[in-house]
Structure 1
Amino acid sequence: MEFPKIIFFLSLLVSLSSATSVVDFCVADLRYPGTPAGYPCRNPANLTADDFVYSGLAVEGNTSNIFSVAITGAFDVTFPALNGLGLSIVRLDIGVNGVVPIHSHRVSEVILMIEGTIIAGFIGSDNTAYYRTLTRGDIMIFPASLLHFQVNIGEAPALAFVSLNSPNPGFQTFSTSIAANNLPTEIIRRITLIDAAQVRRLKTIFSGTN
């Protein structure tokens, strides 16, 4: 290929790789199924400022559950304006002695402490644990896909807000992943080394079978 043509194609590739979106936003049309690329867009002509405001995180969540935690999320399915923008936000209400159980998701996360005292941490792929105590104003990063957790160690409920770099992060919690299904107890015992009686207890709690 001639040198001038090579320069032209390289310039074209650079311009394409640095191109920005051709639309300002894409408020999800939830009448259609989601795809890996998100939801189809609603007609901008039918949108108002209200479509870009979400008040669902203003109310304290109900922590009356086994983990004493409430996770209230603004994702594309609850706040359609997030569709295609690569971010979401979650409110964490953690009761006294409550926990956000060990879990993972396919994107990175940053937590901002508002009230209370927690221990938060993650486990690297080399099994190194990174954890510390967080109080009001502290932030911490949890890299994508790594197992992580939060534990309230204070004498009062804790409040934090979490931002994730996807409108659909894909949460997977260890406890429910192994127990809220029909995977046989004996298989779970063998792959986790958890006593069979404890596996059955977890299945009872999380409505698993077998």
Structure 2
Amino acid sequence: MAGRSCKFLLALFIAAMAASPLALAYDPSPLQDFCVADTASSVFVNGLVCKDPAQVSASDFAFSGLQNAGDTTNAFGSKVTLVDVRALPGLNSLGVSMARLDIAPGGLNPPHTHPRATEVLTVVQGQMYVGFLATDGTLFAKVLSRGDVFVFPKGLVHFEINCGASPAVGIAGLSSQNPGLIRVADSLFGSTPAVSDKVLAKAFRIDAATVQRIKAQFATKK
């Protein structure tokens, strides 16, 4: 009986693993203390090649600049300063990155997604109205003040807008060394090559002339 029970439990374990083989698969996991990115390497892998440990220094694990306010004098009134593996080579294989978000009064960090990362945002100054859209179209949104935290699940469209009278600042943690960024409007109306006017007109239920006017606005930003 004991042997039969063990075989049954083993079968359940194998079935569970087969049903979700990628459940724990995100960024590459470290197999040593660190794998500082060798940005000079031309080898293409899923991540970045490790620098020779003998060539690693403390500066590979440090980044300076988040104390400086981002320039929000742009069409959106916002600026994201991203600290990913390209800015901080020591993040390679560790599965994390971070960013500073600056938003002027009335400014917006437009709807976007991070295809490879969940984001946790902490407001450190001002107020923000933030939210994300679930796959069924439900909006989860809330006004945040200093010290408040909000999480945006991996891959879901989300946004932040300054709803206060003074500049707003947030610090975000992301669960990938290279979270990626897809701005919804930019991707659809400013892509290269362009998405067909017919596709966009039908998707947004507008006419082709309106699509062309919107596309022209994004073309001027390139």
TM bucket, shorter chain: 0.7 to 0.9
Distance 2:111 2:43 in 1: 27
Distance 2:143 2:43 in 1: 38
Q: 1:58 to 1:103 in 2, by over 3 A?
A: same
Equivalent residue number for residue 77 of structure 2: 68
1:142 matched to 2:155? The reply is no
1:156 matched to 2:178? The reply is no
Distance 2:176 2:219 in 1: 29
1:61-100 alignment, distance < 5 Å: 61-100=70-109
The residue identity in structure 1 corresponding to 2:155 is S
Equivalent residue number for residue 178 of structure 2: 168
Equivalent residue number for residue 127 of structure 2: 117
1:184 matched to 2:196? The reply is yes
CA apart distance, 1:186 = 2.6
State the SS of the aligned residue for 1:188. helix
The residue identity in structure 2 corresponding to 1:72 is T
Distance 1:111 1:125 in 2: 21
Equivalent residue number for residue 20 of structure 2: none
CA apart distance, 1:149 = 0.7
Q: 1:34 to 1:180 in 2, by over 3 A?
A: farther
CA contact (8 A) 1:37 1:84 kept: no
Segments of structure 1 that go 5 or more residues without pairing to the other structure are none
Distance 1:191 1:52 in 2: 45
CA contact (8 A) 1:57 1:73 kept: no
Distance 2:209 2:78 in 1: 25
CA contact (8 A) 2:71 2:79 kept: yes
**What is the count of residue pairs matched by the alignment?**
195
State the SS of the aligned residue for 2:219. coil
Compute the RMSD of aligned alpha carbons.
Answer: 2.3
Distance 2:152 2:188 in 1: 22
Q: 1:118 to 1:35 in 2, by over 3 A?
A: farther
Distance 1:205 1:159 in 2: 27
Between the aligned residues of both structures, percent identity stands at 36
Distance 2:147 2:197 in 1: 43
State the SS of the aligned residue for 1:96. coil
CA contact (8 A) 1:33 1:39 kept: no
CA apart distance, 1:142 = 0.6
CA contact (8 A) 2:30 2:93 kept: no
Equivalent residue number for residue 200 of structure 1: 212
Segments of structure 2 that go 5 or more residues without pairing to the other structure are 15-23
Distance 1:116 1:146 in 2: 24
CA apart distance, 1:190 = 1.1
CA contact (8 A) 1:115 1:158 kept: yes
TM-score between the two structures when normalised by the length of structure 2: 0.81
CA contact (8 A) 1:56 1:74 kept: no
The residue identity in structure 1 corresponding to 2:36 is V
CA contact (8 A) 1:102 1:149 kept: yes
TM-score between the two structures when normalised by the length of structure 1: 0.85
